[in-house]
Amino acid sequence: MDPHETRKGLLFGAAAFTFWGLAPLYWKLLGAVSSSELLAHRLLWALPILWLLVHLRGQGADLRQALAVGKTRWTLAKTTVLIGSNWFLFLWAIEVERVLEASLGYFITPLFSVFLGFVVLGERPRRVQWFSILVAAAGVLVLVVRLGSLPWIALLLAFSFGLYGLLRKTVQAGPIAGLTFEVSLLSPAALCYLLHLFQRGETGFLRLGPTTDLLLLAAGPVTVLPLVWFTHGARRLPLATLGLLQYLAPSLQFLLAVFVFGEPFTPSHFLAFSLIWSALALYTGEAIYQHRQRASAAMM
């Protein structure tokens, strides 16, 4: 692989995951706007940017071809529900000051994806992967037993995003084209909801001042820009490297939750996160080892 292309891939990938990790700072600036309205603005203002990208990249024909298949349309309809739910839950977690739990969800997503592959696709996780899943499950159990509550935000975020990734692998539509379809499907409902809020005088848009209006309009670029960076990085990087970079986002969310937003971080949280981080270290280390083994075998 060209070292120059690899460096570009690292920059794009790191930019995407860093942006996603710091995104709670942006959404916190819109604390006077409900999470449901934020989701509606996110969908509405992302739509024209996505369609512009599809046009500029010449992906219109590919998108139409993919949607001509009934099975593909049905799968993308399901991924639309999953990504919409995931976005809303993340925004709501920020609104109710549970960013720490949201970061936990994105930490365990890779392990949850392995588990989904076993349950849905019949894949056989390797021993280290099974052990990693069990260690992560022990971390979640610590929170349940010692704090007396299920971290349901984390679990739902991991489930929705893990299943979303699993389903998106089965359709012949790229990240931008697929997301364009999903946002297009949700946007009419988002527009109707915003009009409803506007008629009732309850919308933040055009009511809370020009700064809020500009921040809401920025929801489109904030949604699309890191995805574009991610696609550029994914094309240039090995999966093992991309897998390591993905932990940047929940790590930054974790740091923001504890040191910027002042969310409680108890000894029970420390024990649970330590178990989950250990599970991720095992999982990632094993994945890198397997990648190097395959690369060595291919060179022989």
pLDDT (0 to 100) of residue 1: 56
Structure tokens at 90: 């993340």
Total of domains in the chain? 1
CA distances from 258 to 99, 122, 197, 264, 266 (A): 9, 38, 34, 7, 10
pLDDT (0 to 100) of residue 11: 93
Structure tokens at 112: 């949850």
Supply the range of the domain harboring residue 243. 3-299
Query: Is pTM beyond 0.85 here?
Result: yes
Q: What does each of the 300 residues of the chain score in pLDDT, given as a tens digit?
A: 567 788 888 899 999 999 999 999 999 999 999 999 999 999 999 999 999 999 988 888 878 877 787 888 899 999 999 999 999 999 999 999 999 999 999 999 888 888 888 888 787 878 888 898 899 999 999 988 887 888 999 999 999 999 998 898 888 778 888 899 999 999 999 999 999 999 999 999 988 999 999 999 999 999 999 999 998 888 888 766 777 788 999 999 999 999 999 999 999 999 999 999 998 888 888 877 776 777 676 666
pLDDT (0 to 100) of residue 152: 94
